[in-house]
Amino acid sequence: MNSLTLTNEQLQKMTAHVQSQAPLEACGLLAGRDSQVESVLEVANQAQSEVRYVMDPLEQLHAFEWIESNGQELLGIFHSHPSGPEVVSPSDITQAAYAVVYVILAPVNGSWRARGFWIENGGYSEVALQVR
C-alpha cells in the first residue's frame, strides 16, 4: 500500500485518543475500503505502559466483528509513542502481525504528528498519509 487516505476529523479523533491516554501508549484500528479510512476504532491498551501497547483482546475482537459486519476491512493499526520517536521501534517491527499500515502518533514540537509505515520482513518503509 503506497498511501492511506483519511479525513481531518479522523486524524483529530486519533490524536484526541492518544493525547487523552498520555503518558501511556494508546492504540486503535483503522477500517475502510480501498485505502480510504471510513472508521477509527479506539481499543484499550491492556499493557497500560508508556513504552508498549497490547490491544485488549475482547475489545479487539469486537472491533474486528464490527468491521466485518459493516462491510469494511482492516486498513491500519494506530498507536502512540508519547515520548517519541515518531518512527517505527524495534518492538513495533517484531510485533507487526497484520499486512496493514501502521500509523504512529508522536509529539513533535508540542503537537502530535502522525506518520504511516508498512512493516514487512523485519523492515519498514514510510506510507503517505493523505489527510482531506
Any idea which residues carry the catalytic annotation?
A: 25
3-state secondary structure of 107: strand
List the grid coordinates of 19: 493525547
List the grid coordinates of 9: 476529523
Q: Which helix (H) or strand (E) holds 58?
A: helix 57-69
Distance CA 54, CA 25 (A): 9
